[in-house]
Structure 1
Amino acid sequence: MTTGAALLCLAAVSACSSDGDDNGDSGGSGDTTSAGGTYTWWDPYPQHDDSSDWAQRVATCGDEAGVTIDRTPYDTTALTNQALLAAQEGTSPDFILLDNPAVSTLADTGMLTTMEEFGFDTSQIDENLLAAGVVDGEAYGIPIGANTLAIYYNQQILDDAGVDPESITDWSSLTDALDQVVSAGHKGITFAAIGTEEGSFQFLPWFWGAGADLRDLGSPEAAEALELWTGWLDAGYAPNSVITNSQNTTWEEFLTGDFGFVVNGTWQVNSAAEAGFPTGVIPIPAQDGGGAPAPTGGEFIIAPVQEDAERYEVTSQIVECMTTPEGLVETANTFAYYIPPTAEGQEALLEENPDLEPWVEAVRSAKGRTSDDLGTDYPLISEAMWTAVQNALSGSMSVEEALSQAQADAQAATE
């Protein structure tokens, strides 16, 4: 099977991370056309040690290529910093699994090979997922899975309030449902508006769902999205705690059984199944109907430039192993909440777990945060945006003032 053919079948992989370990030596020696040698692999999954299913999966792909894989896990932020340092020192690993918004940062340094240079055919990968790794028209990585946001609901509360979740198709019907839930004596919706990237991540579906553009934070569409959130707080449909809520905090609030709705991600699928009440999932609606584009989370597999170009042959074999249909579904199941980035992979996953259908649909509508060729400008724009959300929800500024200031700050930062 050629590398390109393997990547036509690309599918899923894993999640967020915590504290990492020290890095191993980069590179390795050995004839790349025969068995032998060591290839280095960095990923953001320190929660998965050498005995884990994930580590064994990586090692097996090395075995099949006739080499040893030296895997080093890092915290997500530390991984990006270590990759940049390694590029400066000429000690880059053979593989990095990197959080998708950071791909453009590494590509901007010139340390990554493009997928075209590697000979990978990316045509069957969902374009909306691939876009997070595209810079100036060149794909610098491959999404090996995606997670995103949707709305979980407490079926008991909705039943008590007389709300049919299928009736929620736009902002108006969602707000009506919140009114019914609160009127029935329950709490409405909780979400994360904390002043960090998590706050931007959770605001983006509403921002994009209004038709707003990250290059114009002060637009009327952006104001409509922020007014939706401020209106929910003013009406008592959402608690003031959203201003400091992380995504984990919102989930803890939802698990109390007091809230009708919570905005959260694919990574809570297992926890939702184990909640002390029946739950369900609906897509985040766009303002006027249909699913809103939610931001994608998830890692890209990227290949740093190597001095010895002959190493790429084995690199290709290992990527091929990681991206077969069977292997990627296996990886998706290992992590429980990653959705494959190809139609074929998604259908294979749904054959095994039909309950993931709402999440497959959400991923199909999702959008990379650095899409629209934002690249390294995204973090600067995001900070201005989450600051505006904080200012408006806290009441320190009006929606218009907060967004006008955000646009000025973003423009100054990216010029």
Structure 2
Amino acid sequence: MRHLHRTLIAAVLATGTLTSAAACSSSSGSDSGGSASGTYTFWDPYPQFDDSSDWAKRVTGCGAQAGVSVKRTGMDTTDLGNKALLAAQQGNAPDVMLVDNPVVSTLVQAGILNKASDLGLDTSAVQPNIIGAGTLNGAAYGVPIGANTLALYYNKNVLKAAGVDAASIKDWATLTSALQKIKATGKKGITFSAIGTEEGSFQFLPWFWGAGGDLTKVNAPAGVAALSLWKSWVDQGLAPKDVLQNTQTTSWQEFATGKYAFGENGTWQLANAAKAGFPYGVINIPGEHGGSAPVPTGGEFVTVPVQKRTGRYAVSTKIVNCLVSPANLLATDTTLSYVAPTAAVQKQQVQQDAALKPWVSAVAAARGRTSNGLGTRYPVISQQLWAAVQSTLSGGKPAQGALDTAQQAAAAHS
């Protein structure tokens, strides 16, 4: 996921502090929904894009196409979530809102979002696993604008010097064997993020799910196997001890030094990979016994918050439909390094940029963190999961003990 710090709203919710944070933001929502009939408000988690950006022009262009002007506000997702809750309480929510997919279930539980079907928004062409991240009780609450996920970047020079063929990596055993061969040449094995935040959970999930893990039973054998794998890599020096502090950005910076064979990271690093100064490739993260491991989906959903003035929904729906039209999905997702949520646009993306092919495959195997009925239980489980990873990799508790503690804590808060 491009900006995983955004998902910290989930962790805030898990500790019960979001509402109080929102209540302190009384100045933030005053102009959010009470605008003139010809002006529609749009919030997104892209504060890095100013009015001159392609993204901002696309949003205002979709408003113009719907016959209205759009007042766009970009803010960090944590702020966006807090302000959305406050605005809803005050009855002046924005007309359209782009939110990180794990946040959807939280906003639905708060009664803030409309069902896509109630607005006449068609999600039938969206890949089931992508729409699943924003689906609760069988109903979608928005339309995904794109998805990103994780895979393994590899340094072709490092693998070649060690006599390792990337195509030979089929499962955990062959990956570990490759790492050992690479270490023997004096190079470093694999780097990833195991930091004690949502980023750590996000990066651990492919290994957890790749062993057959179930987030409602994190201490089952599958979870223990995945955490034991990471622990064994750190203990053998196949992964650095600083994974405990690594964000996905700092992990990428390590890989970009050219000293590492593999780096677990996301679609959003493609532009940086092209500038790395060495030839690279991408393979899917392997499952324990083979095949591609399920990976978590990142990306945002375009949603329509609940309004007192329900007559505004028709125009809001036009704006959403414009943003998720095939032509705009292709332009937007190429700009943001997202994989489109529909097969037809994915095909066009790969035709334009062959480097996206393994990412399309990875997204096809991905799953939503809040899917399968987890909803707002996910943040609680995730927080305990990353705490278990930290505990084991730092030498505090063995994998089974750390995950037993995590399971007990998660169950107590569910």
- 1:327 is displaced (CA, Å) by 1.3
Contact 2:100 2:301 in 1 (8 A): yes
Map 1:367-382; keep pairs closer than 5 Å.
Answer: 367-382=367-382
The answer to whether 1:213 aligns with 2:214 is: yes
Distance 2:148 2:28 in 1: 27
Across the aligned residues of Structure 1 and Structure 2, the Cα RMSD in angstroms comes to 1.5
Distance 1:333 1:346 in 2: 10
The aligned residue for residue 361 of structure 1 is: 361
The aligned residue for residue 111 of structure 2 is: 110
The aligned residue for residue 33 of structure 2 is: 26
The answer to whether 1:159 aligns with 2:166 is: no
Q: Secondary structure at the match of 1:215?
A: coil
Paired residue total: 393
Contact 1:27 1:40 in 2 (8 A): no
Contact 2:157 2:278 in 1 (8 A): yes
Q: 1:15 to 1:256 in 2, by over 3 A?
A: closer
Map 1:131-170; keep pairs closer than 5 Å.
Answer: 131-170=132-171
- 1:138 is displaced (CA, Å) by 1.3
TM-score (ref. length: structure 2) = 0.93
Contact 2:326 2:345 in 1 (8 A): yes
- 1:109 is displaced (CA, Å) by 1.2
Contact 1:114 1:139 in 2 (8 A): yes
Contact 1:131 1:368 in 2 (8 A): yes
One-letter code aligned to 1:198? E
The aligned residue for residue 70 of structure 2 is: 69
One-letter code aligned to 1:202? Q
Q: Secondary structure at the match of 1:375?
A: coil
The aligned residue for residue 241 of structure 2 is: 240
One-letter code aligned to 2:367? K
One-letter code aligned to 2:314? E
Q: Give CA deviations for 1:1-55 in whole Å, capped at 9, x if unaligned.
A: xxxxxxxxxxxxx943889x9664324333xxxxxx0010000000000111110
Unmatched 5+ stretches in structure 2: 7-26
- Sequence identity percentage: 53
Distance 2:240 2:234 in 1: 6
Distance 2:150 2:2 in 1: 14
One-letter code aligned to 1:227? S
One-letter code aligned to 1:207? F
Q: Give CA deviations for 1:130-174 in whole Å, capped at 9, x if unaligned.
A: 111111221112111001000001111001001111111111111
- 1:411 is displaced (CA, Å) by 0.3
Contact 1:15 1:45 in 2 (8 A): no
Contact 2:39 2:71 in 1 (8 A): yes
Distance 1:25 1:246 in 2: 33
One-letter code aligned to 2:358? P
Distance 1:107 1:38 in 2: 25
Q: Give CA deviations for 1:108-142 in whole Å, capped at 9, x if unaligned.
A: 01111101111122122100011111112211121
Distance 1:329 1:232 in 2: 39
Q: Give CA deviations for 1:253-275 in whole Å, capped at 9, x if unaligned.
A: 11111101110011000000111
Q: 1:380 to 1:155 in 2, by over 3 A?
A: same
- 1:199 is displaced (CA, Å) by 0.4
Q: 1:56 to 1:150 in 2, by over 3 A?
A: same
Contact 1:16 1:76 in 2 (8 A): no
The answer to whether 1:183 aligns with 2:184 is: yes
Q: Give CA deviations for 1:235-285 in whole Å, capped at 9, x if unaligned.
A: 110011111111111011111111011100110000001111111110001
Distance 1:353 1:263 in 2: 21
Distance 2:32 2:129 in 1: 35
The aligned residue for residue 289 of structure 1 is: 290
Q: Which moved more, 1:172-181 or 1:318-327?
A: 318-327
One-letter code aligned to 1:242? V
Distance 2:319 2:114 in 1: 16
Contact 2:149 2:298 in 1 (8 A): yes
One-letter code aligned to 1:364? A
Contact 1:92 1:306 in 2 (8 A): yes
